[in-house]
Chain A
Amino acid sequence: MNRLLISIWTIAIVPSSLVGCTVRENTETQATNAKTGTLALVANGEDFIRQGFVSKDGWQINFDHAYVSLDRVNAYSSDPPFNPSGETQLKPTQTVSLVDKITTVDLAEGEEDAEPILVTQTDAPVGTYNALSWKLVPAQEGSTQGNSIVLKGTASKDGREINFTIGFDRELEYTCGEYVGENRKGIVLAANMAQVETTFHFDHIFGDNSLPAEDALNQEAIGFEPFASLAQNGQLKVNQSDLAKKLNSEEYAKLQQAITGLGHVGEGHCRSSSNIER
């Protein structure tokens, strides 16, 4: 009888303990999988800012500085993936805070072929960060105080040259889906770095001479001529209040719409909302 019991114990219990080991190993594997990586936030004004471009009305525009002030930048793993063109709300399963105080970035920093500007980076759980939200807010201090966007540079056309400083004080909030570009971004692997990107399309304001005049972008852009008409002695320094007074209503409405459409994630679009409408 004892022999029978020993046999049962050997055959039944030993495999069970082995199963127990396997379960423990699986648990350890899951713990390994739960490791973190690094998520970096970059800001990109694209080649329009880094290299300059010709506006829809023929002004060659070059930027010395293109400041944007960011706040409350969060990256999300959203399930289902967020569609900014739809009506559904963002449903995050994971949120990583990247910026929680007003941070001003110069998109024109670096050479013409510079990489997008690194804003910050932080530890993040492994995962796919397929949505991003951020605010454009007026800076509270420094040379751009009171403005959420400041563009400084030179515009030239037909021998005329204008040194400009244009400030916008709009406060905007963008909620975006996944970055769309040549490479995929936002996928954090254990002990690796991934990026998410705030992208600004300034051709929406000035238009793009390389595109046909009837292209939707040029139809919706204000161009540079309305700004040039406000310059005196080759100098233009205006803020949004000045523009609201001096541009005609149609031009100003176009400008407002263009500013609202600045924020992207690469080529991917964002849902935008404004707290200030003038």
Chain B
Amino acid sequence: MTNRHKLNYLASFLLFASLGFSRQVLAHGANIVYQQTPAIEVKATYDDGKPMSNAQVVIYAPDNPAIPWLKGKTNEEGKFSFIPQSNISGNWDIKIRQSGHGDIISIPWQTENVASTVESRDNMPNSSNWLASANNNYNPIQKVVMAATGVWGFIGTALFFSRQKSS
């Protein structure tokens, strides 16, 4: 077990494709639609640089670190790619093992950051739509407007119930 390995990950967010959709309605047609999606690619090697080919891969999502989220195997180059669930931010843990050798790596994944990273790298105006934003912060103006709307709602409702009945 001295033949130690290294698990490297490429924080490259693979771009699997693109945007617009166009469909024609044909009786026996086949349609392929596609969507750009960021992914994580990891590469596992032994200390001597040899790839951990066909090694066991287990992925744990941040919201449930005890239960595997995905299982698979590396390819001949020791690589494995996956697409994290878009609305789960946090550390995605990837464990790769083979013949008594193994390692685990944590990859921080922020949905907002990913969207902005991809946008800056690829200048994709719609990239922020790829992932659901986990950010629910509102700016001060929005908060004031929301508060005023709520207060006006109370007053309006009260006025409604307190109106004089016409006989």
Contact = CB atoms under 8 A, between A and B. Distances in A.
A203 to B, nearest CB: 7
B65 interface: yes
A207 B118 CA distance: 48
A170 interface: no
B102 A268 contact: yes
Interface string A75-106: 00000110101000000000000000000000
A216 B95 contact: no
Interface in A22-73: none
A157 interface: no
A74 to B, nearest CB: 19
Interface in B3-45: 3-4, 6
B66 A187 contact: yes
Given A189-B66, A217-B2, A4 B102 contact: no
A189 B66 CA distance: 10
B67 to A, nearest CB: 9
Contacts of B3: 215-217
Contacts of A8: 154-155, 158
A203 B1 CA distance: 8
Interface string A3-33: 1100110011000000000000000000000
Interface string B96-110: 010011111110100
Interface residues of A, number: 34
Nearest to A178: B104
Interface residues of B, number: 29
B162 A81 contact: no
A180 B97 contact: yes
B66 A184 contact: yes
A204 interface: yes
B138 interface: no
Given A128-B65, A184-B60, A177 B104 contact: yes
A268 B106 CA distance: 14
Contacts of B158: 4, 7-8, 11
Contacts of A138: none
Given A266-B102, A267-B100, A4 B65 contact: no
B159 interface: yes
Contacts of A261: 2
B106 A201 contact: no
Interface of B: 1-4, 6, 47-48, 60, 65-66, 91, 93, 95, 97, 100-106, 108, 154-155, 157-159, 161-162
Interface of A: 3-4, 7-8, 11-12, 80-81, 83, 85, 128, 130, 177-178, 180-182, 184, 187, 189, 201, 203-204, 215-217, 220-221, 261, 264, 266-269
